[in-house]
Structure 1
Amino acid sequence: MTYLYSRSSDAPRRAGKTRSALLGAVALATVAAVGGGAALPAFAQAPQTATAPAATVPSFADVVDRVKPAVVSVRAKAEATQSAASPSARPDSNLPDFGLPDDHPFQEFFKRFRGQGGQNNEGPRFSQPRPRQGASQGSGFFISADGYLVTNNHVIDKSSEVEVLMDDGRTLPAEIVGTDPKTDLALLKVKEGGPFKFVELAPDAPRVGDWVLAVGNPFGLGGTVTAGIVSARARDIGAGPYDDFLQIDAPVNRGNSGGPTFNQRGQVVGVNTAIASPSGGNVGIAFAIPSETVQNVVTQLREKGTVERGFLGVQIQPVTKDIAASIGLPKSEGAIVARVEDNGPAAKAGLKAGDVVLSVNGKPVSDARDLSRTVASLNAGTTATLQVWRDGKQQDVSVTIGKMPSTTTAAADSKAGTEVGKLGLNLAPASATGDNDKAGVAVVGVEPGSPAAEKGFKTGDVIAQVAGQPVQTPADVKNALEASRKDGKKSVLFLVEAKEGTRFIALQIPAA
Structure 2
Amino acid sequence: MTTPRSFTRLVFPRFTLACSALVAAMCVSLLGGVSLTFTPPANAQSVRGLPDFTELVEQVGPSVVNIRTLEKAAVRETQGNGPDEEMQELFRRFFGVPMPSPNAPRQQRPNRPQQPEQEQPRGVGSGFILSSDGFVMTNAHVVDGADQVLVTLPDKREFKARIVGSDKRSDVAVVKIEATGLPAVKIGDVNRLKVGEWVMAIGSPFGLENSVTAGIVSAKQRDTGDYLPFIQTDVAINPGNSGGPLINMRGEVVGINSQIYSRSGGFMGISFSIPIDEAVRVSEQLRATGRVQRGRLGVQIDQVSKEVAESLGLSKPQGALVRGVEQGSPAEKAGLEPGDIILKFDGKTLDKSADLPRLVGNTKPGTRANLQIWRRGSLRDLAITVGEFEADKPEKKASAPVEKPQTANATKVLGLTVSDLTDAQKKELKLRGGVRVDAVAEPAARAGIQEGDVILALANVETPTAQAFDAMVAKLDRSKTVSVLIRRGEWAQYTVIRPNR
SS in 1 for 2:50: coil
Q: Counterparts of 1:335 and 1:461 in 2: how far apart (Å)?
A: 21
Counterpart of 2:221 (choices 208, 230, 234) is 234
Counterpart of 1:202 (choices 178, 181, 188) is 188
Q: Counterparts of 1:426 and 1:65 in 2: how far apart (Å)?
A: 73
CA 1:281–1:392 in structure 2 vs 1: closer, same or farther (change >3 Å)?
same
Q: Counterparts of 1:190 and 1:204 in 2: how far apart (Å)?
A: 27
SS in 1 for 2:309: helix
Q: Deviations over 1:391-416 (max 9, x none)?
A: 43434434332322333143326869
Aligned to 1:506: 495
> How far off its partner does 1:359 sit?
2.2
Counterpart of 1:491 (choices 452, 469, 482) is 482
> How far off its partner does 1:361 sit?
3.5
Counterpart of 1:56 (choices 44, 49, 56) is 49
Choose 216-225 or 200-209, whichever is displaced more: 200-209
TM (norm. structure 2) is 0.74
Aligned to 2:200: 213
Cα pair 1:149 1:188 within 8 Å, conserved: yes
User: Which segments of 5 or more consecutive residues in structure 2 lack a partner in the other structure?
Assistant: 1-21, 23-31, 83-96, 99-103
CA 1:258–1:455 in structure 2 vs 1: closer, same or farther (change >3 Å)?
farther
CA 1:225–1:476 in structure 2 vs 1: closer, same or farther (change >3 Å)?
farther
1:370 and 2:355 matched: yes
Q: Counterparts of 1:432 and 1:400 in 2: how far apart (Å)?
A: 31
Q: Counterparts of 2:464 and 2:319 in 1: how far apart (Å)?
A: 29
> How far off its partner does 1:444 sit?
6.2
Cα pair 2:443 2:498 within 8 Å, conserved: no
CA 1:95–1:53 in structure 2 vs 1: closer, same or farther (change >3 Å)?
closer
Aligned to 2:4: none
CA 1:61–1:180 in structure 2 vs 1: closer, same or farther (change >3 Å)?
same
Aligned to 1:326: 311
Q: Deviations over 1:27-80 (max 9, x none)?
A: xxxxxxxxxxxxxxx9899x9999x98853310111111111111111111242
The letter for the 1-side match of 2:391 is S
The letter for the 1-side match of 2:161 is A
SS in 2 for 1:372: helix
Q: Counterparts of 1:444 and 1:83 in 2: how far apart (Å)?
A: 59
CA 1:197–1:458 in structure 2 vs 1: closer, same or farther (change >3 Å)?
farther
Q: Counterparts of 1:196 and 1:412 in 2: how far apart (Å)?
A: 57
Aligned to 1:118: none
User: Which segments of 5 or more consecutive residues in structure 1 lack a partner in the other structure?
Assistant: 1-21, 23-41, 89-93, 98-113, 116-124
CA 1:474–1:179 in structure 2 vs 1: closer, same or farther (change >3 Å)?
farther
Computed over aligned residues only, the root mean square deviation of the Cα atoms, in angstroms, reads 4.0
CA 1:375–1:160 in structure 2 vs 1: closer, same or farther (change >3 Å)?
same
Q: Deviations over 1:459-500 (max 9, x none)?
A: 6544444445555766565444445x15986212213233xx
TM (norm. structure 1) is 0.73
SS in 2 for 1:159: coil
Count how many residue pairs are aligned between Structure 1 and Structure 2: 434
> How far off its partner does 1:185 sit?
1.2
Q: Deviations over 1:419-470 (max 9, x none)?
A: 96365666666659999955655556666xx555554445654444444555
Aligned to 1:394: 379
> How far off its partner does 1:214 sit?
1.0
Aligned to 1:185: 172
CA 1:315–1:75 in structure 2 vs 1: closer, same or farther (change >3 Å)?
same
SS in 1 for 2:62: helix
Larger Rg: 1 or 2? 1
1:358 and 2:343 matched: yes
> How far off its partner does 1:369 sit?
1.1
> How far off its partner does 1:362 sit?
3.3
Aligned to 1:404: 389
Cα pair 1:231 1:247 within 8 Å, conserved: yes
CA 1:332–1:437 in structure 2 vs 1: closer, same or farther (change >3 Å)?
closer
Cα pair 2:200 2:247 within 8 Å, conserved: yes
Cα pair 1:140 1:151 within 8 Å, conserved: yes
> How far off its partner does 1:365 sit?
0.5
